[in-house]
Amino acid sequence: MNSEPAIAVPPKASPYKLVFTLGIAGFFSGLILVAVYLGTLPRIQANKAEALRKAIFQVLPGCKAFKTLVFVGGKLVLRESDSPGEGGEGRTLFAGYDENSKFLGIAIPASEPGFQDLIGVLLGYNPKLREVIGLEILESKETPGLGDKIIKDQNFRANFLSLAVEPEIVSVKTGKKSAKNEVEAITGATISSKAIVRLLNKAVAKWREPIEEWTDENE
């Protein structure tokens, strides 16, 4: 590093010794990693499940209990265990109920590319009113101070308390909201706002029919 004029010639080591040293290092490193991975995995999964569980209660106002629905063979079926975090995104939905077991709506996990990376959300959907009734951002790396207002800005979040999904949801400028299917975009975070709108439309288009089929049969 410092101003040594010539690089000192290292003493000769046999190639076997080099390979052996790195092999041993890699072996122990692998052992440690596997041990730590297995040791922390249950907790990490529990954390994720807990975050999802909290979000479900958030997006379906009044929700006290939920059932997990899985999309199998073109329709939704109830799964017996109610633990979230299984089955993976794109196949699992959650049906929420209040304390009198009255059906409130469906929580739908969805994701869509935002300004930086995927924005992952959970949205609450009321199939009877055909309205979005709540939205929680689970994952977002949007710009701090601008794009992350999709999480922090209360006015923006108020858009999703009763948002009609028909006709298609559109974004409008702040203060210009005049219809139930309009979302007021955040000034300075147009891309993030539009990503949310796109995400909602896609999720609704994908899930509306299976959900309505399921609610007609079950609720």
Binding site for other proteins (CB under 8 A): 1-2, 10-11, 13, 17-18, 21-22, 25-26, 29, 32-33, 36-37, 39-40, 43-44, 47-48, 51, 139, 141, 143-146
User: Between 62 and 145, whose beta carbon lies closer to other proteins?
Assistant: 145
Report the residue number, 35 or 205, with the smaller CB distance to other proteins.
Answer: 35
Q: Quick one: 6 or 43, whose CB is closer to other proteins?
A: 43
* CB closer to other proteins, 47 vs 83: 47
Contacting residues for 123 by C-beta, under 8 A, at least 6 apart:
59, 107, 108, 110, 132, 134, 135, 136, 160, 200, 203
Of the two residues 32 and 72, which places its CB atom closer to other proteins in the complex? 32
- Least distance in angstroms from the C-beta of 88 to other proteins: 19
Q: How far is the CB of 42 from other proteins (least distance, A)?
A: 8
**CB 66, min distance to other proteins, A:** 21
Q: For the CB of residue 47, give the shortest distance to other proteins in the complex, in Å.
A: 4
What does DSSP say about strands 103-113 and 92-97: parallel, antiparallel, or unpaired? antiparallel
Shortest Cβ 22–other proteins spacing (Å): 6
